[in-house]
Structures are given as C-alpha cells and as structure tokens.
Amino acid sequence: MHFTLCDMLSDLTQNAVEAGSTVIRVSLRETDRDLSVTIEDNGKGMTPDELKRATDPFYSDGKKHPGRRVGLGIPFLIQTAESTGGTWKISSSKGETEAEGGKRRGTVVEARFDLTNIDTPPVGDVTGYFRHVLTFDGRYEMIISRSLEKKSHTVEYTVRRSELLETLGLESEGTFTDVNSLALLGQYLESMEE
C-alpha cells in the first residue's frame, strides 16, 4: 500500500524507466485544491490488451517482479483517483524501437487528485520523490517540471537529469554514484522548493 501520493508516483515513474525509455517527462502541478501529474515516456509501450491487463490488480507478467502474482501500481492510481473525486487517464501504444528505425511510442499516465477530499492520501515528500526517481539506474533523460501554486507559496522550476549529472561531474557514470552526490542533489531540489 502507498502511504502518500508521492509513493504511488514513484512506483509509476519506475515503470517508465523499466520500460526501456530514453526520455521520461514528469510534470507535477500542485495547488491548495488539487495535485495534477503527468508521467510520459518513450518506452516500449503497451498494446490495448496489455494496457487493459495493466489496470487489473490481479495481473502481473512476472517479469518486473519475478514470483509476484499481482501488479498494483496502476490499479492503486485508478482506485485512489476514483474514490476521492479525482480523474485518471492512461494511453499507450507499442511501436518499433529506435534501433529498428522506428519511433518509440511509449506511455502517458495522467492523474488529478482532489486534495480537499478527506480520503485523499497526503501528497508526501515531493523533493524526496524527485530525488528517488532521478537516481534510478540506467541511461535516460528525465525532465521534471514542477509548479506549486498555493496562497502562501508559489514555485515553478524544471530540472533535467543530464544537467544535474553534468554539474556534479557524473555524466560519464550516467548515475548518481555516491552519498555526496545524493546529498547535493537533495539539497538542490529542496532549495528549488523555497
């Protein structure tokens, strides 16, 4: 079970990385009343039948988590949005890979959560969510767009994984490799929220 919305979004973003995506876009817009998120990737995508199965909590292909008989990321998103007055939409199409000369299609997950509904889970640690998804293994670009529009606080920024790695001198490794780089990443993300 996910304790916060950010926990759920982390799971869905991990799906995008594990789909073999080279570019992942995460957009997170938060107001006093709602949280809207879009996670878009250019990964392997899903056929209509695969997408239908992905919304079924009692289905798992067994590849991502061998031995697990259920897949709950997308079903939790659907249940949470629907039971708290929010909305959701998932579109996906399977295409050729870039290596085969085609264009990757990928998946787009969109959701809006009503933060005024008493049953909506708390938003959670947004900067922790960003730090977590930026540090998944693999070579991919992640572009995060954040908008916070509250009565007391307004923030808007965009971060690119490649620029963060370059700034920290980690572009050759392609990932955040040590405690110091993770600490600096966390401090930077927290400063962007101020």
Q: What is the pLDDT of residues 151-180, one digit of tens each?
A: 988 999 999 999 999 999 998 888 888 899
Please report, for the chain, the start and end positions of each structural domain, with discontinuous segments joined by +.
5-160
Per-residue pLDDT at 177: 80
Per-residue pLDDT at 42: 94
CATH number assigned to the domain covering 5-160: 3.30.565
The pLDDT tens digits for 1-50 are: 568 999 999 999 999 999 899 999 999 999 999 999 999 999 989 888 98
Beta-sheet strand order (sheet of 153-160): 87-93, 106-114, 34-41, 23-31, 141-150, 153-160
Across 48-62, average pLDDT? 75
Higher pLDDT, residue 51 or 117: 117
Judge whether residue 94 has pLDDT over 90.
no
Instruction: Please name every residue paired with 149 in a beta bridge, in sequence order, or none if there are none.
Output: 31, 154
Judge whether residue 97 has pLDDT over 70.
no
Per-residue pLDDT at 132: 96
Tokens of 87: 């909305």
pTM for the full predicted model: 0.88
